[in-house]
Structure 1
Amino acid sequence: MKLSIIIVNYNTYTLTRQTIESIIHKEHTFQYEILLIDNASKDNSIEKLQKTFSDLISKKTLKVFVNSTNLGFAKANNIGMRAAEGQYILLLNSDTVVNEDCLEQCLAEMDKNSNLGALGCKVVLPNGKLDHACKRGFPTPKASLYYLLKLYKINPIKYGQYDALHLKEDEVGEVDCLMGAFMLMPKTALDKSGLLDEDFFMYGEDIDLCYRIKENGYKILYYPKATITHYKGGSSKKKRTKVIYDFHNAMWIFYKKHYYSKYNFAISFLVFIGIWTKYLLEILKNSVSSN
């Protein structure tokens, strides 16, 4: 088995169907499996998906796992990764469309370099613009401060570490981390680095995994010759309070895990205040947008 594709579904029948169809409607030169994990959807989406793709299920090209509760993004993906049989494992969001020969190109690039621990393609939004989270630097205190102060607008090379602005969006090159919407990894790298950290409910787990992959000596590649489209269909202008909390809590979990011991108390205190002040501002902004 060459490739295992992990997709998590949560109340998104139409989007998840679109994602799966973008894979299966192409002729591939390699053997693959799709592992679909449902996080206790309440809209009958998993039942409809099982009916829609019953032929794939009978052929065991599509394997379905149904959770009784919403375990979060990290735990759900880990269920799929533990069951995966592929040489390579791809984390793929349920609100994406795989374009043209994206998978073939990415696998060919991975095959050429045994020191690659993760590869991410170019992720574009429906309007054609880059989803900047597909190539990033680690959120160090300095990089995060430059980003919040928008200093990257003055000098993107000097101050643009947060969005890896040393690379143009169509330039192949190494980065610190990728986004979990499309993250291709050799199983051997995961065996060394571990799976997603389940302390992250949603958000941050992809950055954390990239951090550990790099700690184990692997390179992480941004490969924009291949593309997917990211619809971000699960979100809306008004976000749920829990989603906002999960995002900011993930920032603090990551800092505590990887940076707390590297900085003095004053820096850590400022980071803590900064994260949770931003959280309160986002809650206020979200509340206003709902009126």
Structure 2
Amino acid sequence: MLLSVIIVNYNVKYFLEYCLFSVEKAMKNIEGEIFVVDNNSTDGSRDFFENNFPQVKFIWNIKNEGFAKANNMALKMASGDYILFLNPDTIVPEDCFEKCISFIQSKNNSIACGVKMIDGSGKFLKESKRAFPSPLTSLYKLSGLARFFPRSKLFSKYHLGYLDENVNHEVDVLAGAFMIIPKKILDTVGGFDESFFMYGEDIDLSYRIQKAGYKNFYFAESCIIHFKGESTKKGSLNYVKMFYKAMSVFVKKHYGGTSAGLFNFFIQVAIFFRAALSVTARFFRRSKAVDNCLNAEISNAIIAGSREDFNDLSVLFQTCGINKRAVGHILAEVLADPEQKAFSNKMVEIISAKKANEIIFCEGQLSFKKIISILPYIPQQIDIIFFAAKLHSLISSSNKNEAGNFTLKENK
């Protein structure tokens, strides 16, 4: 067997449905297996998936075992030559796995591989490529200095902001959202360290891969969507504390001594500043939420897909009471134009003419690969929604700091 895909789920069933749908398409020409380990979700995931995706091997935990332990459960059962650890809130293009495996094979199967990631709005995710968290690099990240100097070799070292995101690079750390690793490497270094409950376990595994004489590579030639923020809100103070705890475990384990002491000091300072920023941001988000409620109105949506998709969605909005109306249509054939700049200009014209505030991408005549390639060209003020006729919902996620949204399709 060539590939084993391992996904840990917790309360994101509709995003997981899209993930599995895309994974099965990407495995069309690959001999492989898919594991989903559910960490005692309370959103009805078990009932939802019991009779769906019959090819997937589900493991239903009776308590939340954490990310590391849950992945290791499936790893013990996996028989693929390559192991992919994948988050449930992702969508992969159809050729993703084949390209990644080919790249690893070109490096004599002596590397682990991560990919370029964008969020649901098409924005590049900096954690696609990272350095190991020294006390100073962690301070710069958590204090927000890295955000103000995104290309600095000093302040942005953690996210390697000075490296071109469109070029393959050897890096220190691979993101746990997508790590594809030859099984022989995992047999040497072991799986995830279960002393990490959430966050940091990918950094630890990446470190052990390097220490064993292998390399980690950021592979820019394949790009996935990682919606993020579905299980934990990345912008919250709780996230900062969880990240700090995980980094503390990592530093004590691999550095120790003076470095651990300095790390703890710097991170406490960073948390103080981040807490102040979090309180301020929460106030403005609350004010914005109130404004949105007061000014709620029907969304004007452009449908990008086939004529059948346009007709289906138009009927769906009316019959299911969905607060949207289809005001424009872009045929899938138009989106096949390889000239992205021309497409971007055309999109801006249509959005302006139709006074649209949403675009709904329809999987079908449009492949996931094509949709992913288009997202970075969509104006940031436009909400992006994903639709697949065979699935139960429409999903969206405006940014990494907020939980995503889903709209159910009744009578599915």
Q: TM-score range by the shorter chain?
A: 0.7 to 0.9
- Structure 1 residues 269 and 7, CA, compared in 2 at 3 Å: closer, same or farther? closer
Contact 2:251 2:259 (8 Å CA) reproduced? no
**Which of these residues, 195, 214, 218, is aligned with residue 214 of structure 2?**
218
**Bigger shift: residues 154-163 or 281-290:** 281-290
Q: Give the C-alpha shift of residue 23 in structure 1.
A: 1.5
CA contact (8 A) 1:11 1:43 kept: yes
The answer as to whether partners of 2:114 and 2:179 remain within 8 angstroms in 1 is yes
CA shift in 2, pair 1:25/1:158, >3 Å: same
What SS does the corresponding residue of 1:156 show, helix, strand or coil?
coil
Residue 227 (structure 1) aligned to one of 223, 228, 233: 223
- One-letter amino acid of the structure 2 residue matched with residue 193 of structure 1: V
CA distance 1:275–1:116, change in 2 (3 Å): farther
Partner residue of 1:63?
57
> What is the deviation of 1:87?
0.6
CA distance in 2, matches of 1:123, 1:238: 16
Measured in 2, the distance between the counterparts of 1:167 and 1:244 equals: 25
Q: How many residues align?
A: 284
Could you tell me how far apart the structure 2 residues matched to 1:67 and 1:264 are? 34
CA 94–155 in structure 1, closer or farther in 2 if over 3 Å, else same = closer
Of 267, 270, 280, 2:265 maps to: 270
State the secondary structure of the residue aligned to 1:103.
Answer: helix
TM-score, length-scaled by structure 2: 0.63
Q: CA deviation at 1:46?
A: 2.2
Rg (Cα) greater in structure: 2
Higher relative contact order (CA 8 A, sep 6+): 1
Amino acid at match of 1:277: F
CA distance in 2, matches of 1:195, 1:154: 32
SS at match of 1:80: helix
2:87 to 93, 96, 111: 93
1:198-217 correspondence runs (5 A): 198-217=194-213
Alignment pair present for 1:174 and 2:170: yes
Listed one character per residue, the Cα deviations across residues 96-151 of structure 1 (whole Å, up to 9, x for unaligned) are 00113111100111112235331001111122221111100111123234444338
Post-superposition offset of 1:194: 1.4
Partner of 1:77: 71
Counterpart of 1:137 in structure 2 is 131
Does the C-alpha gap of structure 1 residues 272 and 145 become closer, same or farther in structure 2, counting only changes over 3 Å?
Answer: closer
**Partner of residue 117, structure 1:** 111
Give the conservation status (yes or no) of the 8 Å contact 1:126–1:229: yes
Whole-angstrom distance in 2 between the partners of 1:79 and 1:151? 37
Instruction: Answer yes or no: is the 8 Å Cα contact 2:170–2:218 preserved in 1.
Output: yes
Contiguous gaps of at least 5 residues in structure 2: 288-412
1:224 positional shift: 0.8
For the aligned residues, what is the CA RMSD? 2.6
With over 3 angstroms needed to count, the CA separation of the structure-2 counterparts of 1:224 and 1:24, relative to structure 1, is: same
Report the secondary structure of 2:224's partner residue: strand
Residue identity matched to 2:116: K
- Contact 2:89–2:228 under 8 Å retained in 1: yes
Q: Deviations over 1:59-98 (max 9, x none)?
A: xxx1110100011111111111111111110011100001
2:109/2:182 contact within 8 Å kept? no
